[in-house]
Amino acid sequence: MKQLLKAFCLLISIPLLACQQNKNKSINQTAPINQKEAAATTKQFSDYWYNGKAELNSYELKQSRYGEMRDGEVVLVFVTEPFSISKQVKLDNPDDAGKDNISVMKLNNIRKFNTGIYDYSVLSSTFTPIDFYNYPNTLKSNMSIQEWCGQTYTQLNLKGKNYQYQQFSYFESEGDIEKNIPKAMLEDELMTRIRINNGQLPLGEIDIIFSTLYSRLAHKELKVNKAKISKTESETVINYTINYPSIERKITIDVEKAFPYKILSFTEDDGSGLITEAKLKKTLIEPYWNQNSVVDEAKRKELQLMK
């Protein structure tokens, strides 16, 4: 499998040439970035992302809910995994899967905060192919919310020209729902795209399906919306702004302007008081799935996680 991966990397290792911009100069373009070049990987990429470990990132969170700001925490877990194209699950035996095996960048986005006496726990998972020249859309994304009133679960699976969408909720008006949504870029995949594409996103007016978390917190139907992505740069940071004019939603993402293009901070604002602010605290590179003993709890302190 390692030999196949190296061969694949050599075949598509076309470096992405980023345009040099003046400090803090705004960058706009209506055409998307070249998919074939953006999907290229390098030895640097392979050494970092195929080392048998995951990148763990902790963030200080300020989250509004019910008209007040709450303190909380976000953990972003980035890791590559072998993935079944047909079943859209992580493969147990990737060497036996043949052409059904594709490498994906998985992002587990864990968000926790309290609302008075009770707490919210949110987990979303996004699975984006590394080779998105041949697989230009994220294959799967799901999200669950647990809080003392109940829980909700949503999932998007790529099926042909559509995402098959399923939603389950304790609210009568919101569950259970199954429908098709025309495929488009997912807001939930913006960060995986950044990590795969040398820090780059397509710029200009883009069709985007806004995040499943926003859909549930704001009680809005999940669908394709027009959004404008713009970019500014400093010497060390790339800043992306994503604006949805029709729903007054705005997102910013600050990205490290050097490999491995870590997510330094991000914000969300829907124009009516639903605000998210997250700032990076600490990054560790660890095989966390093997670190499940009592002595491994020291890693939580190292990652600066809240007790």
- Residue whose pair of structure tokens reads 């976000």 in the numeric block: 74
pLDDT, average across residues 234-253: 96
Q: What is the pLDDT of residue 10?
A: 42
Average pLDDT over residues 96-104: 94
244-294 per-position pLDDT tens digit: 999 889 999 999 999 999 999 999 998 777 899 999 999 999 999 999 999
Q: Where are the domains of the chain?
A: 2-287
Q: How far is CA 163 from the centre of its chain?
A: 17
CA atoms within 13 A on the CB side of 15: 6
pTM of structure: 0.87
pLDDT of residue 238 exceeding 80, the answer is yes
The DSSP annotation for 142-204 comes to EEEEEETTEEEEEEEEEETTEEEEEEEESSTTT-SEEEEEE--EEGGGHHHHHHHTTT----E
Mean per-residue pLDDT, 153-162: 97
Phi-psi region of 298 (alpha: psi -120 to 50; beta: other; left: phi over 0): alpha
Q: CA 66, 169, 278, 230 torsion: positive or negative? A: negative
